[in-house]
Structure 1
Amino acid sequence: MHWSLGLFLFFGTILFMEGVAYVAHRWVMHGFGWFLHKSHHEPRTGNWELNDLYALIFAIPSFVLLLGGVQLGWWPGCTWIGAGIAGYGAIYFGFHDVIVHQRVRHRYVPRWNYMKRIVQAHRIHHVVETKHGTVSFGFLYAPKPEVLKAELKRRGHEGVRAPAGQPPQVTP
């Protein structure tokens, strides 16, 4: 396979994975998979949370495609697609776990408008502590924070965490 087609598959897979991540986050993690993802919407008490199992789940197709493409003689595109899934995982880890949730300590402060928007959107996602009522499920793309805040307001702030030191909000 020509390397240019391989690169197209690699970067195309990274973009495709944003759609997969959106669907998985919205309808799996905030659906029947909430029993694992709930830990991510609660204060972390250690280095790990049940939600981290999703990283292992999403790594399986990458591993299988890389193994098949490199070692088992499958179509060479499998290698590039497996690498694209792994690439998306690396980007996700860097932005989500390192920059947004600071699971690795750093001094980085987002100054680029795109980065500010991604971080703000994810933080707005986390103000909702419940399975339902959350906004912003994507990762590499996020609506403007004003749009997300307006949507939370439209929904009556259902499930929104109370500010520190204040009692939880009661919706009529």
Structure 2
Amino acid sequence: MWALFMRTIEDIGLKAMEHSSILVPVLLAFLRDGDSRVAGKSIVCGTNFFCRVLEEITMQFRWHGKVERWLEELWTWMVRFKDAVFAIALEPGLVGTKLLALKFLETHVLLFTSDSNDFENFTKEGSKQTFNISWLSGGHPFLDPVSLTSEANRMLGTLMDLLQSACNLPGSVIITVVNWL
């Protein structure tokens, strides 16, 4: 039943993003659920939200020169979600949930690390690319590419630090971090 509920949250949230700010607090609450499957599904759903909200913010600013208030509010919730998932990734806890949190951390680092794709490739019909930090150039009102890249670099450093303490980590966590790096 909870899996259907989470799928419904994700479906509704991604289709009616302007109302998603009431759904993200639910995802945050599910992160603290004692059932690792519920917390894990919350991370997966929140990862999808995070990426989609980031893309929507970027598109609104690029196409209209501003970002609507509801989307700024939703981004504030997504930052809270990100912080909560980072805590799960870096603190002791259930391995399954930690692995999904590390996957979110990986996604975050990749989103905010520049690559050679340009904005025009994203907007070509039929070729949806993954978000690229370079799309935020031009003075975005609240997404500073330098700060976001710096945060991604800090997270990468944190993952490297995790490897140095590998003897204290479960094997699956070590394998996940090594595969990702």
Pair in the same fold by TM > 0.5: no
**Higher RCO by CA contacts (8 Å cutoff, separation 6 or greater):** 1
Larger Rg: 1
When normalised by structure 1's length, the TM-score is: 0.30
More helix by share: 2
When normalised by structure 2's length, the TM-score is: 0.29
